[in-house]
Chain A
Amino acid sequence: MRIAVSRIKGFYGAHPLHLLALLGCFALAGYAALQTSADPQWPLMLVWFLAAVIGHDLVLFPIYALADRSLTTVLHAIRPTRRTAPLVPAVNYLRVPALAAGLLFLLFFPGIIEQGQDTYLAATGQTQQPYLARWLLITAALFAISAVAYAVRLGRERYRRAPTGSGPTPRPHRANHP
């Protein structure tokens, strides 16, 4: 028995239970997919499922990764001199509010861009008119809070260094990025 298992392992690449579990998973998925064929809209469901498979890795991820790399590159490029690292790196004070605003848009975009107006009206008796303004205000508030936090942090850092010298001194070079 042991020899048989190790032979299968050598051939297949994992324990036979691995194969059994995965076959069970595919059988269940296949059965569920087959059940949807009773619905005339099944091709649309399939298309949406396939879109979901690539939705993060090939769509969302490239967008936010590119945005983040642009941000770090720009912050690096606009330093007054190459040698000085900023007293407090600004990157996370931009990242956090941008990420939060982006997350809220991702979750609540139907209301923000007023999509599905008819079904919304039928279900609630209201329009989606307030959401864009609300999202913009929340975004503004997030950036404002972040700016205040950055100012406080910068002030504290300046104050901490003031007694030892005059004004901000270059920090030991720790990071390539701000």
Chain B
Amino acid sequence: MTTPTPPPDPRPKQHAGTQSRVGSTSTAEQSTKDSPAEPSYGFPRGLWRALERHRPPGLGRSRAWRSPLRGPWLTSVFGAVLLVSLPIVIITGLLSYIAYGPQFGQAIPADVGWLRLPGFDWPTGPSWLYRLNQGLHVGLGLVLIPVVLAKLWSVVPKLFAWPPARSIAQVIERLSLLLLVGGILFEIATGLLNTQYDYLFGFSFYTAHYYGGWIFLGAFVVHVAIKLPHMIRALRSRSLRTELRTARADTHPEPADSSDLVATDPAAATVSRRGALAMVGGGAALIAVLTAGQTLGGVTRYAALLLPRGRTPGDGPNGFPINRTATAAAIAPADTGPGWHLTLTGGPRPVLLDREALLAMPQHTAELPIACVEGWSTTQTWTGVRLADLASLAGVPTPGSTHVQSLEQAGAFGQATLQANQTLHPDALLALKVNGTDLSPDHGYPARIIVPALPGVHNTKWVRSLDFRRA
């Protein structure tokens, strides 16, 4: 649990640099109210006082909390790291929703009421835009897990503090922490499972992760607003540089304060603050090393030892990660044989093209990454017909959007709608080949879409028809 606001401080205000202790001095601003030693209570005073007196065994400033490292400074260091980094995870997450094309109803969940995001056409350049976005969202999300856990460890005594509150304000604030902690751990759990295709939870990942994200976002913003002054004060109370030079033998607890974080009966330090920070940072670095490869590709992919996308499904031109196999998509070989043809609609009359005809059209080659919402990506050299050429052939040279239909019947991504810029970009292709050879069945033979900066699943495989829609 994270720290609720301490009660309105009955003690002298701690000005930067001064470490005043309980009852040591008295200032004009508070001397008129309670005596310095007694904390102040909100309404109804009697209730909060009675609550404080009836402490259940085991709760309160228990001697069971022994770590000499816990304290406002250490908590604030973790908090500061999360304050800087979590907004990146949140923003890239929301951007990914926009990249899915909510204007076509194909972002999931589709109907989000007032939680609709400002709509804009997702850009097609730079081609690695979605790769960067998801690499940051998933990569940073994973790397921050040790920091989140360390932050939760550092404030865990607060959960068992007694009294749980001295005012209505503290009750409400503690309730908001359920949203904060539940929100971040819910997002981490669903995200982690989704990147590993373990749908243990049994609900729609997209829906849960989107709304869970909003719940966390609200609680996070309010928590920062309430805690920022405390964090700044605590960070100023000790010098990071000094802490990084302090060995275990010289590590002592932070001075006791109103935050309930500092142990009343601390054990001797078995690790310095420097060591604790190194452990958390080391954990984050370890995850970074084991994760970055799935996004960066190349030789670094081999370092992603424990992630699905650290492996490739074989050698050769088609030996790069697959998103959904032809078998799983129930693509029958007969459907992709010589009888296959592409249907172009939207013009005066439908145009039918078989693979021979497509290969006879002007071919264009582009080196483009394909990046998945799960954070992994791979850059390959694709060859095929420009979507713009197909639009002209269909008789709709400047379509407002393009609806792509796959041979795949069942899956959620058997179809996708492309924006105008995604259709007309010179590197937007109906790819027939990859790395100089025909696409393999798993990569979408006989033809697939590849568009710069488009979310991976919208690069439809086993394409059956393209419907060019007027603006």
Q: Are A124 and B308 in contact (CB under 8 A)?
A: yes
Closest A residue to B202 using CB positions:
A44
B1 close to A (CB within 8 Å): yes
Q: Are A103 and B113 in contact (CB under 8 A)?
A: no
Chain A interface secondary structure, helix, strand, loop or mixed?
Answer: helix
Q: Are A13 and B169 in contact (CB under 8 A)?
A: yes
> Contacts A22-B173, A175-B269, A176-B268; is A126 near B159 (CB within 8 Å)?
no
Which of A91-99, A152-160, A161-169 touches B? A91-99
Chain B interface secondary structure, helix, strand, loop or mixed?
Answer: helix
What number of A residues sit within 8 Å (CB to CB) of B? 72
> A149 to nearest B CB, angstroms?
13
B8 close to A (CB within 8 Å): yes
Closest B residue to A11 using CB positions:
B43
Q: Which residues of A contact B455 (CB under 8 A)?
A: none
Q: Which residues of A contact B264 (CB under 8 A)?
A: none
> Contacts A13-B7, A31-B115, A92-B270; is A49 near B198 (CB within 8 Å)?
no
> B188 to nearest A CB, angstroms?
8
Q: How far is the CA of A124 from the CA of B204 in the complex (A)?
A: 20
> A4 to nearest B CB, angstroms?
15
Please, what's the 1-or-0 string for B244-288, where 1 marks a CB less than 8 Å from any CB in chain A? Answer: 000001000000000000000001111100010001001100110
A150 close to B (CB within 8 Å): no
A-B CB contacts (within 8 Å), total count: 241
Q: Are B200 and A116 in contact (CB under 8 A)?
A: yes
Q: How far is the CA of A31 from the CA of B149 in the complex (A)?
A: 28
A148 close to B (CB within 8 Å): no
Q: How far is the CA of A11 from the CA of B168 in the complex (A)?
A: 8
Q: Which residues of B contact A12 (CB under 8 A)?
A: 42-43, 167-169
B222 close to A (CB within 8 Å): yes
Which of B89-97, B174-182, B347-355 touches A? B174-182
Q: Are A26 and B306 in contact (CB under 8 A)?
A: no
- Ordered by A's residue number, 10 sampled pairs between the chains whose C-beta atoms are within 8 Å are A9-B8, A13-B43, A13-B167, A25-B222, A41-B207, A50-B182, A56-B185, A103-B145, A121-B328, A125-B322
Interface residues of A (CB under 8 A from B): 9-14, 18-19, 21-22, 24-26, 28-29, 31-33, 35-36, 38-39, 41-42, 44-45, 48-50, 52-53, 55-57, 60-61, 72, 89, 91-92, 95-96, 99-100, 103-104, 106-108, 110-112, 115-116, 119-126, 130-131, 134-135, 138, 174-178
Interface residues of B (CB under 8 A from A): 1, 5, 7-8, 41-43, 109, 111-115, 142, 145-146, 149, 152-153, 156, 159, 166-170, 172-173, 175-176, 178-179, 181-183, 185-186, 189-190, 192-193, 196-204, 207-208, 211-212, 214-215, 217-219, 221-222, 225-226, 249, 267-271, 275, 279, 282-283, 286-287, 290, 305-308, 311, 313, 321-325, 327-328, 442
With A13-B8, A14-B5 known, 4 other A-B pairs at CB within 8 A are A56-B181, A119-B197, A119-B199, A122-B325
